[in-house]
A and B are shown apart, each in its own frame.
Chain A
Amino acid sequence: MSAFVNALDQEPWRFIISLLAIIFLTLNVAAVLTFAERKVAGYIQLRYGPNRVGPRGVLQPMADVLKLFTKENLSPGRADVWVFLAAPIAMFIPAAVIWMVVPFAPKAVVTNLNIGLLFVVSTTSIGALGVVMAGYGSRSNFSLLGALRGAAQMISYEVPLILSLLGVIILTGSLSLVNVVNNQAGGFWHWYIWSQLPMFATFYIAGIAEVKRIPFDLPEGESEIVGGFMIEYSGMTWALIQASEFASMGLMSAITTTLFLGGWQPPFDFLDFGNFNWIWFGLKTAIIMFTFQWIRWSVPRLRMDQLMDFGWKFLVPLSLVWLFVTAAGTLIIH
C-alpha cells in the first residue's frame, strides 16, 4: 500500500493526479458557488432560491450544466470566431492554474513555488486578456464597451492589489505562499490581518474589482450593457465564462485567506487537526466568499469614472502609505 502511495508521489503520476484534482476542484468550486450565490441571494431577497432539483435544490448546478450542454453554441455572424472561442479558455485557465500554489493544509499543496505570489499576480492579469478577447471578438457595441471597461478596470485595480501584497511579503520575507502561512502560526492574533488591516481592506476591495462583482461589475453591467463582454455567448462557452468567474471568486477568497487570515492555521493551537486543517482553510474561505455574495446583493454599482477615482485616488495611496509604515516598522524592530 505504502509502495503504491509512494509511486503516486513520484513524477508523472503526481503531476497527472494534481492536474485532475485542480480541474475537479475548480469546476466544483464554480458549481457550488453558483448554487450558493443563488441561495444567498434568495434568502437576502425574501425568497427561497432554487429548491426544485434534489433536496433543497442542491442538484441545481447539475441541471444547469446539463441544460447548457444541450444548448447550441452560437457565434455571431460578424464575430472573429477564433478570438471569440478562445476567450473563455483564456479566462478559465488562469482561474484554474492558480490553485496550484494555494496551500490547503500543512502538506496539501501542489507545488511550493518559491515565487508563488508573483505567479498569482501575473496569472491573474491574464484574465483581463480573456475579457478583452471576448468583448472584441464578439463585434457587438455592448460587448466592446464591456471589454474596454473590463480592461481599464482590471489593469487599474491590479496596482492596489499588488501593492497590498507587498506588506505581507515584507513581513514574511518570502514570496512562497507556504511560507506566508507558516509565518502566521500560533493563534489568530498572529494572522496578518491585524498588522495589515488597511492592506487587507485594499486587497479585499481590489479583489472584488478583479473578479468583477458588484459594486465593481462594470464589464458586465447587466442593467446598462446587458452582460457586456459575454453578451453574445451561449451554451458551453457561456458556462465556461461563468465557471471561470465563480472559480476566480473562490480563488480570490482562498488567496485572501492565505495571505491575511492565516490560511489553514487554526485560530487557537489546541484546535490543530494536523492534516485535517483544511477544514479551517475551507471555513475561512467560505466566510470570505459569503461576504462577497453579501455585498453583491446589497449595494448598487459604481460608475466608470468613480471606479477609477476610487482605485487611483484612494486605494493606491492607502496601500502606499501602509507599505511605508510596514517597511519602517520592520526596519525599526529588526
Chain B
Amino acid sequence: MLQEERRHRTETITLSGRESERLSRPDIRDEFGLETMDMNMGPQHPSMHGLLRLILELDGETVVRCDPVMGYLHRCQEKIAENRMYPSVIPLTDRLDYFANMHNEHGYCLAVEDLMDIEIPPRAEYIRVLMCELMRLASHIPSVGFLLLELGAFTPILYGFRERERIQNIFEAVTGARMMFHYIRIGGVKADLPEDMPEKIWNYVEDLEKTFKRDFIDLIEGNEIFISRTRGVGKMSQEKAVEMGLTGPPLRCTGVDFDVRRDYPYSIYPELDFDVVTDEAGDVEASYRVRIKECYQSIRIIKQVLEKMPEGAVMADLGRRLRPPEGEGFGRVEGPRGEFAVHVVSDGSDIPYRVHYRDPSFVNMQLLQEIVPGHYLPDIMPIMGLVDPVSGGWDK
C-alpha cells in the first residue's frame, strides 16, 4: 500500500559542496507502530549470481522495496575496446556474459562485418551457428540448475553441469579453450572443425535428446514443491514485459513472440527450421518451461546445421590489417538470456571510435525493481532464476 510513495521518496543532501539527491528512509510506522526492516542482500550472497547487491525493505518477510545495485564487476570493457584494434576486441567480448561467450563474439563480429560489408564463407556461417546453439545449450541447462539451486535443491545443478562439461569438451576440441574461446573472428572463424567433430557433436546431441528427460527434467518437473515455489511467482503481463524492454526467455514466457533469430534474421537462421518457444503464464515456471523447450529447439537446429554443412573455406581474405571505413556498424544476436547487440562506430582508423554493448542481463534486471515488491523474501531467488542474469553481462 505504501510502496509507491516510498519508492520515490528522496531527500537532498550536501556532498562535498554539491547538492545531491538520495533515497531517504522515511519514518513511517504502520497502525501497530511497527517499522520495516532494511536489509542488504549481497554483493557477497550465494544466490546473487555473482556480484549483485539488493537493498531490500522488508515488512516481516514481505519485500516492500527492492533496489538492485550494480557495478561491483565493472571492468570498463567499452573503454578498453576503444584502445584496441578491431580483432583484439574479440577476446574482451568473451569476458562480458561468461555464459554466452560465443554469442558475444558473434554479435561483435556481425557489427564489424556490417561496418566493413564483409561477405563471409558459408561454411564459417554454419560453424558459427553450430557453436552458438551449443553455447545456448551450455547456458540454458545450468540456468535451470541455478533456479533449482536457489530454491534449495542442490542436486540438479550438478546434473546440469555434467551436460555443460560435455559441451565444454566439444568447445575445447574445436576452439582450444573451455570458456574464453576467441574463436569467431571478423570474416569467419579461427579454424575449421576437427575432422571427427561433426560426428561427435551429432552423437552428443542425439544422446542428449534421448537422456535429457530421464536425467534432468524428471528430477525437477512434477515435483509438488517446485510447482508451489514457482507457479504464479514473479508474474508479469505482456505489456509490462515489453515496456521494460525484456528479451529472451523472460519476455517469451509472457507470451510475446519475439526472437531475433527469426524477426531480424542474421547468419543462416532464415534457412533453418525452428520454432520460437513461448508460454502464456509469465511466471517463473513458464520461464523454466521456455528454457527447457528451447534446449530441444537448439538440438533441432544443431542437427540441421550438421546435415547441411557445406565444404569450403572458413575465413574470408581480409588482409593483414583491418581498417574499416568511417561509419557505423550494428550486430544483434539472440543470446541465451536475450538480445545481445553491439554498436561499433569507426572514425576510419584501425581502432574503434566507440563500441557499445547492449547486454540482456543488464536490461532484464529492471524486472527486479518492478516485480519483487509484494513478494516474499524467498521469492526473490526464483525471480532471479527467471531473469538469470550474469554479472559479467550487467557490469561491462
Contact = CB atoms under 8 A, between A and B. Distances in A.
Interface of A: 41, 44-47, 141-142, 144-145, 149, 214-215, 217-218, 221-226, 297-306
A214 B61 contact: no
Contact of A226 (B46, B148, B223, B378): B46
B32 to A, nearest CB: 16
Contacts of A226: 45-46
B101 interface: no
Given A47-B158, A224-B378, A297-B154, 13 more contacts: A141-B40, A144-B37, A215-B225, A223-B47, A224-B381, A225-B377, A226-B45, A299-B225, A300-B152, A301-B153, A301-B378, A304-B61, A304-B378
A221 B378 CA distance: 9
Contact of A302 (B38, B40, B229, B380): B229
The SS class assigned to the A binding surface is loop
Contacts of B153: 214, 298-301
Contacts of B88: none
Pick from A46, A225, A298, A300 the residue with the most CB of B within 10 Å.
A300
Given A46-B158, A221-B378, A224-B380, A306 B228 contact: yes
Contacts of A301: 151-153, 225, 229, 378
27 contacts: A46-B158, A46-B159, A47-B158, A145-B58, A215-B225, A217-B152, A221-B152, A222-B46, A223-B46, A223-B152, A223-B381, A224-B47, A224-B377, A224-B381, A226-B45, A298-B153, A298-B219, A299-B153, A300-B223, A301-B153, A302-B225, A302-B228, A303-B228, A303-B229, A303-B378, A306-B228, A306-B229
A295 to B, nearest CB: 10
Interface string B76-103: 0000000000000000000000000000
Contact of B155 (A44, A145, A306): A44
Interface in B25-42: 37-40
A222 B154 CA distance: 11
Nearest to A144: B37
B149 interface: yes
Interface string B141-153: 0000000111111
A231 B381 CA distance: 18
Interface residues of B, number: 32
A300 B225 contact: yes
B111 to A, nearest CB: 38
Contacts of A305: 376
A36 B223 CA distance: 25
B154 A41 contact: yes
B159 A300 contact: no
A300 B376 contact: no
A50 to B, nearest CB: 16
B223 A141 contact: no
A44 B381 CA distance: 24
Contact of A298 (B155, B228, B229, B376): B155
B176 to A, nearest CB: 27
Contacts of B219: 298
A118 B340 CA distance: 64
A224 B228 CA distance: 17
B226 interface: yes
B229 A141 contact: no
B162 interface: yes
